[in-house]
Amino acid sequence: MLELQQQDIPKLKSERTVSNNSVPEDGGNNGNSYDLVFPALPDSKTLGPKSIGINGQCGTVSAPPKTWSKVRTLTVNQVFTISVQDRKSDNSEKFGEGESKRICSQITRETGAEIEISTSKNMNLTFLVRGKELDVIEAKRRIIASFQTQATSAVPVPKEHHCQVMGKQGARRKEIEQRTGARIQMPSIQDTSDIINVTGTRDAVEKAVQEIRMISDELSKKAFEKIEIPKIFHPFITGGHNEKLNNLMKETGVKIHVPPPSVNRDEITIAGDKEGVQMAIEKIKNIYAIMEKESATVFVEIPKQKHKYLMAQKGSGIQDILLETNVSVEMPQQDSDKETVTLRGLYKDLGTGLTKLYEKANSMTAETIECPGWMHRFLIGKNGSNLRELIEDNEKVHVEFSDDNKIIVEGPTNMISKVIESLKKAIECYVSTELVVDPKFFKHIIGKNGSNINRVKNDNGVIINISESDNNSNIIRIEGRKDGVELAKSELEEMIYKLENEVEKEISIDQRHHRAIIGVKGEKVRELQETFNVQITFPSSGY
């Protein structure tokens, strides 16, 4: 603690006066100047409301600066679409939107983000996610993992390049993952493998692989070149299903990376021996020069619902057209209402390409059948067993049960009619009927632990709905095959007739004797009920 003698105070005061007018030097005080030891008190005009200190002294409570901003919880909204081609499908076990809503509800509970889901006419899923930014990011990641097919790509990268892909403390890898949405798994240092695994949606994997290869190629000791070729001409360099690109790499012995369709970039990279790189560049530029000079563009209107037939699985439909005709097909954005499809190619090839385009568009058909919603479960069967029998060998036909009492059948034109006929015959086999019953008989019809109603349901293969919770409802509904419904209806009517003709009588017996009448574990009262074919009930012990 710094101690000061009384005689030193005037001197320090004078030093303070000087310090207000000039910059003091530390001298020999080791930086402990008067201003540091005894800081100046604030001006009285700036003092805030007074408060009483521990020893009864007055203190001040400073008001917060006017520049302080209020802390607010920001809510963000994010909308994204998962196309029908990229949707996960498990038609043997899950149908309709019930499972989708259940998954979204679970994600909402776990992340706190609100999720709204809708299905468009072309069966694309659109999600609206609302909440805190971090919650929305996590919810989106879980939605994509649950609803969108996941792809995996094993990328061979020289082991000495792995550290550059990782970056300092993994920063570069994290940046790539955040930009692309893919997950990158690097082999450990002890692992001699040079494979980097990339997992995520198809587009995300393509983007991440592109960035990893770019890093590796730039680090390669061999020649590395970049050339700018307009994106619209990339299909003529790669060819359908990358056939031309693979042949070119095999011929020149170099690696050529063309950005995938989902990456809007003109840059093409070539890495390898200098001679091979130059040869590849010349061939690519030659293709570009010919197509730029001699190609033409045609715009065709194709109904939006047929676009998915052109795309097929992962865009294989337009790749087939490119492979067979050397004509590229450009589709409008999936979330767009535009129906215009763009064809580009040489004049001599456009006619053939247009023919193939119409063949693909008309190769599939979709039809709608009217069917009550309650009947859907019977047509589907347990784990989809009934539906598989109805479809038989027509595996390419897709059947979807919607919530608006409709069944949508989609598939090859030559197969769909047979499936529709089978579905219509099956629909005719099922009926429903209703019985008007006094609600007081419900508990007797249901029986203990549902024993009576379950027996009727299992014996006749029907579904029986009784709304006990709704006091205003006096309806019992029976659903199933015609013969089973008739038998179940007859059994219930007989049971109801007996209940309606039964007599109920109350007997007043002192509660002290109830236990003796009931017997051990209800043995005596059960004997009375079986002997006289009656039902005996006792008031609860609280009466």
Q: What is the mean pLDDT of each successive set of 10 residues along the chain, which is 543 residues long?
A: 44 41 45 56 51 46 51 76 75 56 91 89 86 88 84 89 90 89 89 91 88 86 86 95 95 92 90 90 96 94 86 81 94 86 94 92 88 91 87 84 88 87 92 89 86 92 80 84 94 88 82 88 87 82 51
Pairing of strands 295-301, 340-346: antiparallel
pTM: 0.49
Domain layout of the chain by residue ranges: 75-147, 151-222, 365-430, 437-501, 509-542
Burial of 508 (0-12, 13-18, 19+ CB in 10 A): exposed
Same fold across 151-222 and 437-501: yes
Query: Residue 463's beta-bridge partner residues?
Result: 479
Strand order from edge to edge, sheet including 76-82: 76-82, 125-131, 114-119
Q: Is the dihedral of CA 387, 393, 399, 405 positive or negative?
A: negative
Q: Which residues contact 422 (CB under 8 A, 6 or more apart)?
A: 390, 391, 392
Q: Which amino acid is at 171?
A: A
User: Which pLDDT does position 336 carry in this prediction?
Assistant: 83
Separation CA 103–CA 121 (nearest Å):
21
Q: Which helix (H) or strand (E) holds 51?
A: strand 50-52
pLDDT of residue 514: 87
Q: Among 331, 389, 380, which residue's Cα sits nearest to residue 360?
A: 331
Q: Residue 354 has what pLDDT? A: 93
Q: How far apart are CA 244 and CA 247, in angstroms?
A: 5
Regarding the domain delimited by 365-430, which CATH topology (the fold level of the hierarchy) does it fall under?
Ribosomal Protein S8; Chain: A, domain 1 (3.30.1370)
Sign of CA dihedral 222, 227, 229, 231: positive
Q: What are phi and psi of 454, to 5 degrees?
A: -65, -35
Alpha-helical (H) ranges within 93-201 are 98-111, 133-147, 162-166, 171-180
How is residue 232 annotated by DSSP? G
**What is the pLDDT, as a whole number, of residue 67?**
53
Per-residue model confidence (pLDDT) at position 484: 94
The token pair at 271 is 């890495």
Helix (H, G, I), strand (E, B) or coil at 182: coil
- Distance (Å, rounded) from C-alpha 435 to C-alpha 499? 14
Contact, 216 vs 184, CB < 8 A? no
Q: Which residues pair with 406 in a beta bridge?
A: 370, 402
Compute the distance between CA of residue 416 and CA of residue 423 in angstroms, rounded to an integer. 11
User: Looking at domain 75-147, what is its CATH homologous superfamily?
Assistant: K Homology domain, type 1 (3.30.1370.10)
Structurally, at CATH architecture level, domain 437-501 sits in 2-Layer Sandwich (3.30)
Residue 542 has a pLDDT of 47
Q: Three-state SS for 255?
A: strand
Class of domain 151-222 (CATH, top level): alpha beta
Q: What's the rounded Cα separation, in Å, for the pair 368 and 328? A: 33
- The amino acid at residue 83 is S
